[in-house]
Amino acid sequence: MSSKVQQLQATLAHELGGVVIGAEAAVPSLVIALVSRGHVLVQGVPGLGKTLLAKTLARTLGGDFKRIQGTADLMPSDIIGVHVFDEASRNFVFRPGPLFADVVLVDEINRAGPKTQSALLEAMEERQVSLERAVLPLPPDFLVLATQNPREFEGTYPLPESQLDRFMLRIDIDYPPRAAEAEVLARYGGLVTGSAAAGAQVARLGGALPEEARADAEGVHVAEALGGYILDLAHASRRHPRLTLGLSTRGALALHKAARITAAMRGAEFVTPDDVKEVAPAVMAHRLVLTPEAALEGVSDVDLVRALLAETPVPR
């Protein structure tokens, strides 16, 4: 069952692992995003390979790839596009911006201003852009990969809750093990080969494989009790004393889809509570807003997700 999902996972693991050392932990989340057509927020301190991971994934997926560098002076028209006057036709012609691509990497998204961040909302949710009374469709497999540094506050604009909710999941990248860092130094430490990672060749996925993986994942059964368990988690987050904002209905739906794809990745025919627990931190954590008291105490959003999982009864 679900061999195509497992094949997709193995292919991504091979291609990403050949360029980004230590990327194995991020592969399941990327498979979930690809199969569900969800967007991904990659979070971590500078210098851990967030941008390299996103660029390598984009090259593996193929299609048109564009990169947007988040800066304070980035305007919505810089990413959507503008109408310019064409002397030959004597008419205004639309010049599309980098948002009109199959894979869009928004690097340091929290450095872009609120106006530009808001311009991404419709694109991420509806896969379209409204411009001067016209609705312009984006590619059907439009995927946003955004990176941010959570510990850098100078010159940044925290993402609003409405935009965070449109990222299906968040990948947290931490410092790699010593052995992995040693391999990075050995492979990319040369003066000539130091930039080899950025231009490394990867094999592109076949266009049919993601679609076949989606069809396989659709066949995984989700029992009614499992749906109730996901709703119990959502309602528990909304009542939790250390949270001012819990899991939305969109978030519960994302958790439902992610658990189904997780079950498909292990070749199962039905979803278990363990599948929900496995993906809950990646799907739920960035959607939760802590109370000021909890933040001052040093409690993290991932800690609260784990607490919710421990407190919510599991269906038998």
Q: Which of 58-67, 127-136, 154-163, 254-263 has the highest mean pLDDT?
A: 254-263
Q: What is the CATH number of the domain that holds 272?
A: 1.10.8.80
Say whether both 230 and 136 belong to one domain.
no
Split at pLDDT 50, 70, 90, the class of 229 is very high
Say whether both 27 and 134 belong to one domain.
yes
CA-CA distance, 61 to 207, in Å (whole number)?
8
Split at pLDDT 50, 70, 90, the class of 165 is very high
- The pLDDT score that the predictor gives to residue 197 is 58
Q: How wide is the angle at C-alpha 95 spanned by C-alphas 90 and 98, nearest 5°?
A: 175
Asked if residue 196 has pLDDT above 60, the reply is no
- Quick check: is 163 in a domain? yes
CA-CA distance, 23 to 74, in Å (whole number)?
30
Say whether both 99 and 244 belong to one domain.
no
Task: For residue range 69-121, list pLDDT tens digits in order.
Answer: 998 899 988 999 888 888 887 788 888 889 998 889 898 888 888 888 888 88
Say whether both 240 and 128 belong to one domain.
no
Asked if residue 49 has pLDDT above 90, the reply is no
Asked if residue 307 has pLDDT above 90, the reply is yes
CA-CA distance, 193 to 98, in Å (whole number)?
29
- The pLDDT score that the predictor gives to residue 9 is 92
Say whether both 172 and 31 belong to one domain.
yes
Boundary (domain end) residue, out of 192, 225, 254:
192
Backbone angles phi, psi at 232, to 5 degrees: -60, -40
- The pLDDT score that the predictor gives to residue 207 is 67
Split at pLDDT 50, 70, 90, the class of 274 is very high
- The pLDDT score that the predictor gives to residue 189 is 80
Residue ranges making up the domain that contains 238:
214-311
Say whether both 297 and 176 belong to one domain.
no
Q: What is the CATH number of the domain that holds 27?
A: 3.40.50.300
Token pair belonging to 34: 């690809």
Say whether both 147 and 222 belong to one domain.
no
Say whether both 184 and 262 belong to one domain.
no
Split at pLDDT 50, 70, 90, the class of 153 is low
- Quick check: is 221 in a domain? yes
CA-CA distance, 77 to 96, in Å (whole number)?
9
- The pLDDT score that the predictor gives to residue 95 is 87
Say whether both 163 and 218 belong to one domain.
no
- Quick check: is 199 in a domain? no
Asked if 34 contacts 210 with a C-beta cutoff of 8 angstroms, the reply is yes
Report which DSSP code applies to 26.
Answer: G
Split at pLDDT 50, 70, 90, the class of 201 is low
Single-letter residue type at 44: G
Single-letter residue type at 154: E
* Number of structural domains in the chain: 2
Q: Are strands 243-245 and 103-107 parallel, antiparallel or unpaired?
A: unpaired
Say whether both 187 and 223 belong to one domain.
no
Residues 84-117 as b/e (b if ≥16 CB within 10 A, e otherwise) read eeeeeeeeeeeebbbbbbbbbbbbbbbbbeeebb
Which regions of the chain does DSSP assign to beta strands (E)? Answer: 40-43, 65-69, 81-86, 91-96, 103-107, 128-131, 134-137, 143-148, 169-172, 243-245, 289-290
Asked if residue 192 has pLDDT above 80, the reply is no
Looking at per-residue confidence, does 205 or 53 come out higher? 53
Average pLDDT rounded to a whole number, residues 218-233: 95
- Quick check: is 88 in a domain? yes
- Quick check: is 242 in a domain? yes
- Quick check: is 220 in a domain? yes
- Quick check: is 201 in a domain? no
Split at pLDDT 50, 70, 90, the class of 203 is low
Looking at per-residue confidence, does 192 or 229 come out higher? 229
- Quick check: is 207 in a domain? no
Average pLDDT rounded to a whole number, residues 128-134: 83
- The pLDDT score that the predictor gives to residue 200 is 63
Longest dimension (CA), the chain: 70
Name residue, tokens 């379209």. Answer: 128
Asked if 127 contacts 249 with a C-beta cutoff of 8 angstroms, the reply is no
Task: For residue range 171-182, list pLDDT tens digits in order.
Answer: 998 888 898 889
